[in-house]
Amino acid sequence: MPLPKCWPLFTKAKGGFDLFLDKIASMRKNDPYSEAKKLIESSRHITVTGHLNPDADALGTALGLWHIFKRLSKRTDLFFASHPLPQHLGFLPGFKNIRQSINPQSDLIVTVDSGSLDRIGIEIEDGVKIINIDHHRSNTRFADVNIVEPEFASASEAAFKLVESAGWDVSKEAAVNFYAALLSDTGFFGYEGVNERVFDFAKRLLKLGADAEWTARMLRENQPLSKLRLLPKVLQTLRLYLDGRVAGLDITLRMLEESGASVSETDDIVNYARSLATVEVGFLIREEADGGLKVSLRSKNRVDVCKIALSFGGGGHIRAAGFTVNGLERELLKEKLLKRIEEELQ
Ligand code: AMP
Ligand code: MN
Ligand code: MN
């Protein structure tokens, strides 16, 4: 049986036992989970936040942690910079407590589901500590403590691992939020990252009081009419490329205006492009209010779309990624994008 790595310190060196203890102490220090626990427990005022245009993973993970921190009798705020917030996710327990301006008293910011600091949408003042809890492969490790688990199916898995290792209580409200985050980011337990560990996590959340049927129903069947009015307009734009292996969709500001839909209602429409039998890569290009173009990329099982998004300054996961460009015309962007996709399809 192989000896533990620190064994030679214990046996050989003079004063070896001290060195052994030092080594254990430094291992603890470098463990982001115990570092995060220490920072959270010693902070005076925590703000929990997530990425711009938050989805159910960002909101559910942040809300879950917020409930848990409140139980620790911590002064805790929830903050999301995007306005308006996705009202169809208003069923998440605690949603109405979300602030849209940051509390200046915060001495600790906990970000969830955010691959880089610019995805939060605010400047963070000097002296304020940051803990980054995420599962994006492209995460830039921007914080004082980085808990980044690219193998995890949802940011809520990393948050729960922290909560568990710290020994904090998980209320029913927190469990519901984490379950919604997990369900949404795994495509209702259908995506590649789903494995026994994910189902074990789901089972624990159900034991803690999450309701599987209710959460699934609220995520799927709580849509505003404007979203269904938008959908046919977007599907009209469907085009196939590269022998049908790629499908693209467009959303313009005008379509949003005509249907009354907000940006958060466009979230999963890109999945229609990927849903076609022949398609490996689906993309959606959405016009932003400032004239920028937001690109969403999805793949089935071969192409690493995170790599493509990174080459355009964005990021994400292997099968779901995105980026935003400014000052590029839509057809020119499509040309460049298709070239990159073609390279990855080889
Ligand atoms: P979306 O296409 O917006 O649904 O995003 C797909 C995945 O890529 C999500 O996990 C996002 O967090 C990530 N992502 C989207 N846009 C960006 C970006 N500009 N930079 C980094 N990651 C992004
Ligand atoms: Mn997200
Ligand atoms: Mn996520």
How deeply is 123 buried, as exposed, middle or buried, from its count of CB atoms within 10 A (0-12, 13-18, 19+)? Answer: exposed
Average pLDDT, integer, range 254-280: 97
Residues 192 and 304 in one domain: no
pLDDT value, residue 283: 99
Residue at 177 is within a domain:
yes
The residue whose CA has the least distance to atom 19 of ligand 1 is 323
Dmax over Cα atoms in the chain, in whole Å?
77
Phi, psi (rounded to 5 degrees) for 283:
-135, 155
Residue at 244 is within a domain:
yes
Q: Of 142, 317, 319, which is best to mutate to test ligand 1, by the most ligand atoms within 8 angstroms of its C-beta? A: 317
Q: How far, in Å, CA of 257 to CA of 132, rounded? A: 35
Average pLDDT, integer, range 210-224: 97
Residues 215 and 298 in one domain: no
Question: Which CATH number fits the domain that encloses residue 214?
Answer: 3.90.1640.10
Residues 48 and 186 in one domain: yes
Residues 212 and 320 in one domain: no
pTM for the model stands at 0.90
Residues 241 and 210 in one domain: no
pLDDT value, residue 8: 30
Over residues 143-198, the pLDDT tens digits come to 999 999 999 999 999 999 999 999 999 999 999 999 999 999 999 999 999 999 99
CA–centroid distance, residue 339 to ligand 2 (Å): 27
- Nearest ligand to the CA of 285 is 1
Taking each helix axis as running N to C, give the angle between helix 155-166 and helix 172-185, from 0 to 180 degrees, rounded to the nearest 10: 150
3-state SS of 153-200 is CCHHHHHHHHHHHHCCCCCHHHHHHHHHHHHHHCCCCCCCCCCHHHHH
CA–centroid distance, residue 324 to ligand 1 (Å): 9
User: Which ligand 1 atom sits nearest the alpha carbon of residue 297?
Assistant: 2
**Strand duo 75-79 + 98-99: pairing:** parallel
pLDDT value, residue 21: 61
Domain that holds residue 189: 32-220
For the chain, the domain total comes to: 2
Residues 203 and 284 in one domain: no
**Strand duo 145-148 + 239-241: pairing:** unpaired
Is residue 299's pLDDT more than 90?
A: yes
Q: Judge if the beta carbon of residue 54 lies within 6 A of ligand 1.
A: no
Phi, psi (rounded to 5 degrees) for 134:
-155, 170
Q: How far, in Å, CA of 199 to CA of 195, rounded? A: 7
Residues 206 and 252 in one domain: no
Is residue 4's pLDDT more than 50?
A: no
User: Which ligand 1 atom sits nearest the alpha carbon of residue 136?
Assistant: 10
Buried b (16+ CB within 10 A) or exposed e, 52-81: ebbbbbbbbbbbbbbbbbbeeebebbbbbb
Q: Judge if the beta carbon of residue 321 lies within 6 A of ligand 1.
A: yes
Is residue 107's pLDDT more than 60?
A: yes
CA–centroid distance, residue 242 to ligand 3 (Å): 30
User: Which ligand 1 atom sits nearest the alpha carbon of residue 114?
Assistant: 12
Residues 174 and 245 in one domain: no
Is residue 105's pLDDT more than 50?
A: yes
Tell me the one-letter amino acid at 80.
F
Domain boundary residue among 172, 199, 220? Answer: 220
Domain boundary residue among 220, 242, 276? Answer: 220
Is residue 128's pLDDT more than 60?
A: yes
pLDDT value, residue 346: 86
Q: Judge if the beta carbon of residue 316 lies within 6 A of ligand 1.
A: yes
Over residues 29-62, the pLDDT tens digits come to 579 999 999 999 999 999 999 999 999 999 999 9
pLDDT value, residue 280: 98
Residues 174 and 291 in one domain: no
